[in-house]
Amino acid sequence: MQRKSVFSTSATRRTLLTGAAGVAAATILKYPANAAEFNFKLGHDNPATHPVNIRAVEAAEKIGKDSSGRIEVKVFPNNQLGNDTQMISQLRSGALEFLLIGDNILANVVPACNLAGLPFAYKGYPDLWTTLDGPFGKYLKGQIEKTGLHAFEKGWDVGMRHVFTTSRPVNNVADMKGLKLRVPEAPIQLATFRALGSSPTPINNSELYTALQTHLIDGAEQPLISIEVARYYEISKYISLTNHQPTCWELVANGTAWRRLPKDLQDLVAKNFDETALRERQDMANGEKDLEEKLKTQGQQIIQPDIESFKKTIADSGLYKKWRDDYGTEGFDLLEKAVGKLA
């Protein structure tokens, strides 16, 4: 069932919401048969009505039009091409040309990408994007390129992450003890939630609803938009606004496929995707407050937890120093130069 997002305002809101209603499970752009010189696929794990997918479809349509149909992009949301690990494998083999993927998951291939999502490193959206569009972000893009993938200049946003639970509220770090929480298969989240006293359990995003419904887990940590769009509020009772970590995403391309495009098409594709990424970021920032209010009407108790208790636990755990040693002092130093002292 497709549902409208609360994200964005005015003309942008109308564009996104009317677009959401007509987004197919796999969005196939309409051009004359066999007209395209290049037929590329773009995969990701968000639902079709998520702002990431709506904007990705928008970019793909614009690329088709601006190239006069020379390049056709088919957008496949909601893990239709496989889970994140499988899509990364397809991207690297060339079976998939474009992938929108979280830095936390991409970190399994590019360890330095873990640094983009260190918990409690950013003061908010302006701080996050100033950092990721600056020298630190350029460093990460360079590390991605070393693997043979092509990284687009502007990252995408899936929102600040929060803890939500079905069993009991989380008011402070002490309430985390013993909670079985779903996390992605990502080293930073696993280490963070172990340090906070919970039992982190990696489960694929496509299986999360059922895991909550069957009480396999007590909750998860997700951005508000994911809780709303994926209807986790039907099972969840409490949302603690921990703001513990951003969900910054990269748009990456298979290097061989990218180099196959002539320079004029490379420039056209990069321009459209990067401009769209900036609009998608704004969608996310604009929608946060609206989402809090909407989730309250959907039966969620919104909690303002004692965030300092979380921050202190992570700082005292020694994890920042470990992450600096594990993922490289060069990247860590660039991050600290932008956000302040961590380790």
The pTM assigned to this predicted structure is 0.85
Contacts of 90 (CB under 8 A, 6+ apart): 43, 81, 82, 96, 99
Residues 307 and 212 grouped into a single domain:
yes
Give the residues across from 221 on adjacent strands.
163
Residues 193 and 323 grouped into a single domain:
yes
* Domain assignment of residue 132, yes or no: yes
Q: Residue 115 maps to which CATH number?
A: 3.40.190.170
Task: For residue range 146-165, list pLDDT tens digits in order.
Answer: 999 999 999 999 999 999 99
Residues 41 and 144 grouped into a single domain:
yes
* Domain assignment of residue 5, yes or no: no
Task: For residue range 247-291, list pLDDT tens digits in order.
Answer: 999 999 999 999 999 999 999 999 999 999 999 999 998 888 899
Residue 34's pLDDT is: 57
* Domain assignment of residue 4, yes or no: no
Residue 19's pLDDT is: 42
Q: What is the CA radius of gyration of the chain?
A: 20
Residues 154 and 176 grouped into a single domain:
no
* Domain assignment of residue 41, yes or no: yes
Residues 126 and 97 grouped into a single domain:
yes
Residues of the chain with pLDDT under 70: 1-34
Residues 219 and 91 grouped into a single domain:
no
Residues 179 and 257 grouped into a single domain:
no
* Domain assignment of residue 207, yes or no: yes
Residue 285's pLDDT is: 87
Residues 36 and 61 grouped into a single domain:
yes
Q: Supply angle C-alpha 114, 56, 262, rounded to 5.
A: 90
Residue 289's pLDDT is: 81
* Domain assignment of residue 109, yes or no: yes
In total, how many domains does the chain have? Answer: 2
Q: What share of the chain is helix, strand, coil (3-state, %, to 5)?
A: 50, 15, 35
Residues 50 and 175 grouped into a single domain:
no
Residue 23's pLDDT is: 45
Residues 230 and 105 grouped into a single domain:
no
* Domain assignment of residue 2, yes or no: no
**Structure tokens belonging to residue 174:** 């002490």
The C-alpha atoms of residue 96 and residue 337 are separated, in whole angstroms, by: 36
DSSP 20-36: HHT--SSB-----TT--
DSSP 279-304: HHHHHHHHHHHHHHHHHHHTT-EEE-
Q: Which domain holds residue 48?
A: 10-158+248-286
Residue 17's pLDDT is: 36
Residues 270 and 186 grouped into a single domain:
no
Residues 188 and 216 grouped into a single domain:
yes
